[in-house]
Amino acid sequence: MSTFVTVTDQPTANSSLTIRRLLVDLSTGFDRHWNGGDAFRSAYMNALSMSFPVGEQFFIEAVRNGAAKLPSDARFDALRQTVREFIGQEATHRQLHSIYNAELERQGFKNHWGPRALQRVEKARAMRRRLHSRSEHFHELAVTAAFEHYTAVFGEQTLCRQGLPGDWLAGAQAPLQTLWRWHAAEETEHKSVAFDLYRALGGNERSRLFWFAFVSVIFTVDALRQTTNNLWHDKTLFKPSTWLSGVNFFWGRSGFVWRCFGASLAYFRKDFHPTQVGQAHLADDWLKANSALWQAVGRAPVPPQA
């Protein structure tokens, strides 16, 4: 029996999102250690990039299928529009990270994360089809909201230490530094969309927290597996400098763990909402300071009413 309740009458008001074209040229390639000459930081960011085309396609499908279940009345029009804009942003991320990943493949790296994630999604969908589940959109939205919390936390941490100790992109080559910071800004901007949609549809707390715990484990394991594989192909896996950088990246004074742990766990709070975590101005500040590096491509078109 489904544990989900019905659609709430509490649509959330998201502010509108801008879909942007990033003016960077990735076609000329980049160095293997593009991230400040640091093998570990390059390998870790490359691993994340490898997950995005499959992951972001999944997020797009999850919010599209979820939005299709919203009642057609005007109360949900703003949320529907924000979902379309979210899809526009994620589609541009997918596209640029696919170009980035093609260069990684050309350099001899092997993406295991993307195919493994796709296989996982297909298996879960096949199982729910066999069980005639009618709650697939809830599960996929809860998974998406969980990942979106992590991308927002990481995004905000990418933006808040620019030029300071603990800047994850210190010394990075220009096109990739811009790509990552732009992506971080947009993840920060649209961090509430999947969560609000899940809530508007009446998704329950138990499932929200279960999928967050699941995503936390799977994301950590997948990221470390792919980073290790990238370092293996880079022939830097057994270098002491790689391990030193990895330890510093996660556990150093401005390390990933200290900076992300509390914000990540906030998701378990009963009254949690993505806007309670982070600093909303970070994305705005970066986008304004770097307005020469992107162009707005307009709002997502409103499809005709059926």
Is residue 208 a contact point for Fe ion (CB under 5 A)?
no
Cα separation of 24 and 22, whole Å?
6
- State the angle between helix axes of 256-265 and 136-160 in degrees (0 to 180), rounded to the nearest 10: 140
Residue among 35 and 188 whose Cβ is closer to Fe ion: 188
Report the residue number whose CB is nearest to Fe ion.
Answer: 93
Q: How far is the CB of 245 from Fe ion (least distance, A)?
A: 25
Cα separation of 86 and 56, whole Å?
10
> Residue from 32, 33, 93, 208 that binds Fe ion (CB under 5 A)?
93
Residue among 21 and 129 whose Cβ is closer to Fe ion: 21
Q: How many residues bind Fe ion (CB under 5 A)?
A: 4
Alpha-carbon distances, residue 261 vs 26, 45, 79, 187, 256 (angstroms): 32, 19, 30, 18, 8
DSSP letters spanning 32-51: TTTBTT-HHHHHHHHHHHHH
Residue among 156 and 187 whose Cβ is closer to Fe ion: 187
User: Interface residues for Fe ion in 127-166 (CB under 5 A)?
Assistant: 151
Q: How far is the CB of 243 from Fe ion (least distance, A)?
A: 30
Cα separation of 193 and 56, whole Å?
14
Q: Which stretch binds Fe ion (CB under 5 A): 36-44, 135-143, 187-195, 219-227?
A: 187-195
Residue among 241 and 276 whose Cβ is closer to Fe ion: 276
Contact set with Fe ion (CB under 5 A): 90, 93, 151, 187
